[in-house]
Chains A and B, each alone.
Chain A
């Protein structure tokens, strides 16, 4: 992963939680009369792993959708890298370095693993289409240079054997991994993971945890993830935000959240994992 290291994180192994990268301030989001998010505020700091937890329907996915510009909240502001953003489209969020994966895998089913990951790289590719059509000189060089980068991601995620398989044919666990690869290809500053371990067996979960921690440590990527498996959340996250019915219940390090009475009462008897 030499290229990755150089590109993003000269200080790879000295991970330090830095300044605020993203500030969500008093966000409210409605669908018709339904209030999906109610006056939510929290911060994501550089290089940290933030977990967003809460029961189904708590508004976790909606929150991620707001962060990457897919939903437009009716109230509140989002400040990313010190800039308060106005109404934006998802592709603009991507251009600013926000990448994500989805709860229900959103891969490009008709394309191979390699093509999926290469597609994730598109914001770094700048040759005009006529050069691509000629596939010659700079265009070919660019294609090969990014192929090299994507091959490194493929090595990192240990999916070499499926690089030319259409992703539609892959089992669920591998698809999740390819989707992570596609998000990584963009070398994101902020990586949003929507239930990266849902529906996985223990081994697959362990692999995925390892990937998440490695990404965070080696490249210094800031990660915000949604997860239901409390064991995983408590193990890997630096901080936890708890949502319930669109409201924020708690926000803090895993240990303090675990003992928070509001969280306990919301979760007790619900029987989560």
Chain B
């Protein structure tokens, strides 16, 4: 009824290639941005902003990163946590070594640092594929986390190994990290950065570089025969993916937890991000957001559900049940829709176009 594209004619390729070619989608996106920028900071409580929205944004960014590598370029990685840690520690070293460096520049540079590490650990991808590569990325995961924990230079020789992120302002006195930063400021900063980076990612995946990634994913031999250089393409996916993960890691440490510690980026973090892209949808930028939202909200709902129902269950049991439900849901999702929430959303839209008629 209200979701029809009838009457909207595209007269140029530019219009046809737009991210949201249908007007209703453009309006929808504008509304989402309005809610995110206006309603959330005004109406959202500190709890909402700090424990739901900021981690949601950070996870979304990391999931975009992993989705570029795994969903688009088809290189399975279990080392996301390590690349996030690279970004977090790079940001810490940069901000402490150059106190005058703008936080935005510091964040982007830490992404670049993570990208460099990503390239190194992506080198084996030329010779090894699939699950073998996944295990090789575990080497990055365990080695890098060990490195950050063992080499005191990374923590500026702090005794405990846990360090807090220094306060930094975007401009003037507008602090976005550290104790002076209001949740609203931190949230809006993350939101803007994530929105911009997501847009750039979307642009990449619909351009030549994105098509090269997908070609390598779908059939690497044919890709090489039509002129794609496998190593360069795979490494570019590793680099850009690690850039996104690195920035996400830096955001995690500076804007979410406020502390930089290797333990936050262990193997479980890698898996968590992997679930996000599975549940959200491999090879979809929207899917990264949907998956991140799902994984952030699920434990909160699960932990509150027994309380709301008035069931007397111990917290230990709840955490076990949580893990169980989590596993079940993953299997369930894979069976129902291996392409994730993003595909479900598309099917829903296709149905909505015809609604109220069945076809």
* Chain A residues near B (Cβ < 8 Å): 68, 70, 89-91, 93-95, 99-100, 102, 106-111, 115, 118-120, 122-123, 125, 127, 129, 132-135, 139-140, 143-144, 147-148, 151, 182-183, 186
Contacts and interface: CB of A to CB of B under 8 A. Distances in A.
A93 B203 CA distance: 29
Interface in B197-213: 200-201, 203-204, 206-212
Given A132-B207, A133-B200, A144-B13, A107 B219 contact: yes
A252 to B, nearest CB: 29
A148 B218 CA distance: 25
B222 A108 contact: yes
Contact of B208 (A90, A122, A144): A122
Name the residue among A118, A123, A143, A182 with the largest chain B CB count within 10 angstroms: A143
A111 B230 CA distance: 18
Nearest to A136: B203
Interface string B170-211: 000000000000000000000000000000110110111111
Contacts of A182: 226
Nearest to B282: A110
A204 B200 CA distance: 42
B14 A122 contact: no
Nearest to B202: A135
Given A122-B208, A135-B207, A110 B227 contact: no
Closest 6 CB pairs of A and B: A94-B227, A106-B222, A132-B207, A108-B218, A135-B203, A133-B200
Given A89-B224, A144-B14, A182-B226, A122 B211 contact: yes
Nearest to A97: B227
Nearest to A127: B208
A247 to B, nearest CB: 26
B217 interface: yes
A143 B207 contact: yes
B203 A132 contact: yes
Contact of A143 (B17, B200, B215): B17
B122 interface: no
B226 A186 contact: yes
Interface string B111-133: 00000000000000000000000
B22 interface: no
B323 interface: no
B227 A95 contact: yes
Contact of A115 (B214, B217, B226, B229): B214
A108 B214 contact: yes
Given A91-B227, A94-B227, 15 more contacts: A91-B228, A91-B230, A94-B226, A108-B219, A110-B214, A111-B211, A119-B223, A127-B208, A129-B240, A132-B210, A133-B207, A143-B17, A147-B13, A182-B226, A183-B226
Interface in B29-71: none
Nearest to A183: B226
Interface of B: 12-14, 17, 200-201, 203-204, 206-212, 214-215, 217-219, 221-230, 236, 240, 283
Contacts of B240: 129
A106 B220 CA distance: 10
A127 B208 CA distance: 9
Contacts of B221: 70, 90, 106
A123 B229 CA distance: 10
B275 to A, nearest CB: 21
Nearest to B71: A110
B17 A144 contact: yes
Contacts of A70: 221, 224-225
Contacts of B217: 108, 110
B238 to A, nearest CB: 13
A133 B240 CA distance: 11
B1 to A, nearest CB: 24
A140 B16 CA distance: 12
Contacts of B227: 91, 94-95, 122-123, 186
A185 B207 CA distance: 16
Contacts of B236: 129
Contacts of B14: 140, 144
Given A122-B212, A139-B207, A147-B17, A91 B229 contact: yes
A100 B208 CA distance: 20
Contacts of A108: 214-215, 217-219, 222-223
A90 B212 contact: no
Contacts of B214: 108, 110-111, 115, 119
8 contacts: A93-B225, A109-B219, A110-B217, A119-B211, A125-B208, A132-B207, A139-B207, A147-B13
Contacts of B222: 102, 106-108
A139 B43 CA distance: 40
